[in-house]
Amino acid sequence: MTALPTRKAEAWRYADLKAVEALWPPQPARLISVRAGEAQEEIVRVREGGLHDLRVELAAGATLRLVILVQSSGYARVAVEAHLNEGAHLDLGGILLGDGEATQEIVTEIRHSAPGATSRQRVRLVVDDRSTGTYLGRIAVARDAQKSDAEQSARALVLKRTATANLKPELEIYADDVKCAHGCTVGELDKAARFYLQSRGLPRALADALLTRAFVADALTGLEDSSTREALEAETAEWLEQRA
Amino acid sequence: MTSETETLRNPQASAAIDELSTYKWGFATDIEQDFAPKGLNEDTVRFISAKKNEPEWMLEWRLKAYRIWLTLPTPEWAKLKIPPIDYQDAYYFAAPKAKPTLASLDELDPEIRRTYEKLGIPIEEQKVLAGVEGARRVAVDAVFDSVSVATTFREELKRAGVIFLSISEAMREYPDLVRKHLGSVVPVRDNYFACLNAAVFSDGTFVYVPKGVRCPMELSTYFRINAENTGQFERTLIIAEEGAYVSYLEGCTAPMRDENQLHAAVVELIAETDAEIKYSTVQNWYPGDKDGKGGIYNFVTKRALCRGARSKVSWTQVETGSAITWKYPSCVLAGEDSVGEFYSVAVTNNYQQADTGTKMIHLGKGTTSTIISKGISAGRSDNSYRGLVRIGPSAEGARNFTQCDSLLIGDKSGAHTIPYIEVKNPSAIIEHEATTSKISEDQKFYAMSRGLNSEDAVALIVNGFCKEVLQQLPMEFAVEAQKLLGISLEGSVG
Amino acid sequence: MLVIENLHANVGDKPILKGLSLIVNAGEVHAIMGPNGAGKSTLAHVLAGREGYTVTQGTATFDGKDLLDLEPHERAAAGLFLGFQYPVEIPGVSNLLFLRTALNAQRRLRGEPEISGADFMKKVRTESAVLGLDMEMLKRGVNVGFSGGEKKRNEAFQLGMLEPKLALLDETDSGLDIDALRIVSEGINRFRSPERAVLLITHYQRLLDHVRPDYVHVLADGRIVETGGPDLALRLEAQGYEGIAA
């Protein structure tokens, strides 16, 4: 891909094309490859703008737990292209926190190329001020990739009328014996949960902060190492507290 | 069965239908036709306009559209493989040679009458759709290739204040109404196919329901492509004034022909305050043969403007035909608390391709939309749901619920779900769910162990899968649609 | 402690409470019984300050303060506890984090120092043991994956942890089997003291076999139509609401 993308390209329809032009051409993709039967955990933190391409290769029976945390001031795009071989498992958690004028994107393409691979994606977007947060997530199941199991959950919280959230969870399925589902929601914090917290003595702002923190932390449930998880939770909590 | 439906089922016609086992609507009618010269240029546009005795403003409108069309690119974003279309190798106008105006329905060409009889379409008043006892009366506008050949129940509707005419007649009889609304929901330059339609549309249906009137019967248009090498470009315009209600149905078929034929329609709906429009489609254009030869290219733009507060538009579609379907019936929800609904079943088999869905554009406060889509892919077909839900910054408290389910039959087909969710308001609540599955062997075995053969078992399960959508259809259509689902999937089960 | 006078309240546009009066003093246990739709849960929600419930007339004071003027969390800090009929699940917020945050928020509002981590955990261990909730459950999200009975035990656990002055328990017995009912009742009985009061809202008499009330009130069509001792509950059980409320 060397030509500058245009608005017509589906994968760039919500991008900040001016910013993209300045960043073009992108650096070669970073390769994360996990060998057959092995397991690995990767954290990708994006604090500075830019085009961050990741290429994930999972050999047969390999497992990768990948967490992407995007919170930058300029235009940032994290694009993951993952190939899953037989029986491989990808657990992908994405957190996107947007404020100011930032346009940020998490773009995933999970290719189930062989039978029996599983993938689980949970992406949480919080957009404030005049920011734009986008999640484009495509799951592609190849003709012979029977018994694929792909699960995708995307949720967004829009904090202001000037902010924008875009979600495009996409399924491209060519095998019939598969379990593929996606669900996404955009909305306010749960009113019943808020009242429950308030009735136990939490002021509204604190109740909202706690609920937002839980909303985001959902994306980290795939991590096995609790200290990493707590560190990431603390990082997002700090950002959320600045909002309150 | 009543004696009335007996007359519709004349033995010869029934025999002709039975001969055609898979696509039962594939016969051609041999009648004398008027054609426009082959090809597309400004003269074609002038020819169509002259043939239809149109006012000058209408010709200007068409010519402007044609000139814009020349500059537009073809849309390429859909998940479709569309072979290049030679727009010069088609006829843009084909009309049965007949008297320009019919004094009564009795003067209709007997061959055309027989065609509709074979299709089971009641173009005689007091007749109901064949095979359904106790059905309500349905007023029909029959569009044969490029022109409307008959509109029934006109007088009775007129007494209720409802205008139900072919759009060509409406242009002459109600020029102000047509001029005011034509192109107001789907502008001329909206997209490539809508623009082409604006230049060359030949006929279609016009419905106007005045303030406070509940249309006393179902309205329906039956589209038939008959002539070879002919494109059909119809245009439908429905206006429901304050507090009005109308339910409208459309059905379509075409003969089996080896070459592909183009159908590029535009439908515009306008719902004012407290008005409701229910628009149902059973699309059964010729899908091509089992090797993917022939079939209709169905490139349709349908859009509703819910302009008034609490207005409501409900699209229901059952798409079983066409070689390629490109169609996104949409709602612009401008009025406060207005409601948009989209219920869709799309079946593809053999080499059919469908890329269909909806757009719900929420602009007003408290607007709600519901999307239920059921896609069934069999054979070597590809079936995509593509839908946009957009919540504008002013759409305080807007809500959307979307459910997209795909069913795969066999391992050679594809099922795709491509939703776009764009939200600019913090108080909006959007829920979207999608699943992909196949018919479970357990379900199939269960049905077969109770005596159903393999195909009937699949048809039964598919009907269950589509139930939420089928029950949105008026009863007469629901029965037809169920049968159609079974027929469309014939040969898909090994 | 709690004084309600001529309370009228709407849910949306619909009047539900139509002139309810009630006085609850420290040390007392009151039970409010009544048929479905009488306004029992509405009373609980109005007192706790839920959105969508509008008081149109009347007053409610708590220790002399105007209860209706307070935000929900201020009512909690003042010492009012609502035990929910349907406790809410909050994924991602652990029970322990939730309770500690709530406890400290209340203390701050009352001008008290925050509880230390050690003291908090000590209290958690004592209270959870009584109710048979293990530490693993408390580390999970609030009520997430809890059975109906576990949710009610969790409510009783929170009651023990937060130590309010008045416990307003909305259908706490619904969905409980006989063992769970006994455990939850023990929790409520432990809570009873001369400084505290309990207002039980219930449809059935069976909870009152375990938690003996000082007063029983019958609520019908938004008003208290009869007040009596524990025997009134038994009469209700025998004769049904129709016989009493008519």
In this prediction, residue B256 carries a pLDDT of: 64
User: Is any Cβ of chain B less than 8 angstroms from the Cβ of A173?
Assistant: yes
pLDDT tens profile A76-98: 999 999 999 999 999 999 999 99
**A199–C91 C-beta distance less than 8 A:** no
Q: For residue C188, is it left (φ>0), alpha (ψ between -120 and 50) or beta?
A: alpha
* C162 contacts in chain A (CB < 8 Å): 200-201
Query: Which is higher by pLDDT, A111 or B478?
Result: A111
Lowest pLDDT segment from B5-14, C53-62, C80-89, C158-167: B5-14
Does B60 score more than 60 pLDDT?
yes
Which of A186, A188, A190 to substitute to test the interface with B, most B CBs within 10 Å? A186
Backbone phi and psi for residue A4, each to the nearest 5 degrees, phi listed first: -60, 130
pLDDT tens profile A210-219: 899 899 988 9
* pLDDT level of residue B282 (50, 70, 90 thresholds): confident
Segment (H or E) for A107: strand A103-112
**B437–A170 C-beta distance less than 8 A:** no
Q: Round to whole Å and give the CA distance between C224 and C61.
A: 18
Does B15 score more than 60 pLDDT?
no
Q: CA of B194, closest CA in chain A: separation in Å?
A: 19
DSSP state of B76: -
User: How many domains would you assign to chain C?
Assistant: 1
Backbone phi and psi for residue B167, each to the nearest 5 degrees, phi listed first: -70, -25
Percent of chain B with pLDDT over 70: 78
When pLDDT is averaged across residues C170-192 and rounded to a whole number, the result is: 89
Backbone phi and psi for residue A158, each to the nearest 5 degrees, phi listed first: -105, 115
Contacting chains of B (3 CB pairs or more, <8 Å) are A
User: Is any Cβ of chain C less than 8 angstroms from the Cβ of A210?
Assistant: yes
Domain of residue C211, CATH code: 3.40.50.300
The identity of residue B312, as a single letter, is: K
Which of A124, A197, A241 to substitute to test the interface with C, most C CBs within 10 Å? A197
User: Is any Cβ of chain B less than 8 angstroms from the Cβ of A183?
Assistant: yes
Query: Which is higher by pLDDT, C11 or B97?
Result: C11
The identity of residue B229, as a single letter, is: N
> Pick from B291, B29, B488, B417: which is nearest to A181 by CA?
B417
In this prediction, residue A87 carries a pLDDT of: 96
**A158–B424 C-beta distance less than 8 A:** yes
> Pick from B475, B19, B132: which is nearest to B121 by CA?
B132
Q: Which two tokens stand for residue B278?
A: 């229910």
pLDDT tens profile B352-394: 999 999 999 999 999 999 999 999 999 999 999 999 999 999 9
* C97 contacts in chain A (CB < 8 Å): 210
Full-model pTM: 0.84
In this prediction, residue B6 carries a pLDDT of: 32
Q: Which two tokens stand for residue B371?
A: 């999307």
* A10 contacts in chain B (CB < 8 Å): 77
**B433–A186 C-beta distance less than 8 A:** no
Lowest pLDDT segment from A51-60, A118-127, B346-355, C202-211: C202-211
* pLDDT level of residue B11 (50, 70, 90 thresholds): very low
Name the residue in chain A with its Cα closest to that of B407.
Answer: A176
Q: Round to whole Å and give the CA distance between B408 and B378.
A: 6
Question: What CA dihedral angle connects B399, B405, B406 and B409, to 10 degrees?
Answer: -160
**C73–A202 C-beta distance less than 8 A:** yes
**B424–A184 C-beta distance less than 8 A:** no
In this prediction, residue B459 carries a pLDDT of: 82
Helix/strand/coil for B448: helix
Identify whether C194 is preceded by a cis peptide bond (ω within 30 of 0): no
* pLDDT level of residue B20 (50, 70, 90 thresholds): very low
Residues 6+ apart with CB under 8 A from B291: B350, B351
The winner for highest mean pLDDT among A125-134, A185-194, B74-83, C123-132 is: A125-134
Name the residue in chain B with its Cα closest to that of A126.
Answer: B426
pLDDT tens profile B132-186: 334 455 667 776 665 666 667 777 888 889 998 888 889 989 999 999 999 999 9
Strand locations in chain C (E): 2-11, 14-24, 29-33, 53-62, 65-66, 80-83, 90-94, 141-142, 166-170, 197-202, 215-220, 223-228
**A199–C71 C-beta distance less than 8 A:** no
* pLDDT level of residue A60 (50, 70, 90 thresholds): very high
Residue holding tokens 């809890």?
Answer: C146
Q: Where are the alpha helices (DSSP H) in B72-166?
A: 110-119, 154-160
Q: CA of B445, closest CA in chain A: separation in Å?
A: 17
Domain that holds residue C12: 2-245
Contact residues, B window 74-133, toward A, CB-based 8 Å cutoff? 76-77
> Pick from B110, B471, B84: which is nearest to B316 by CA?
B471
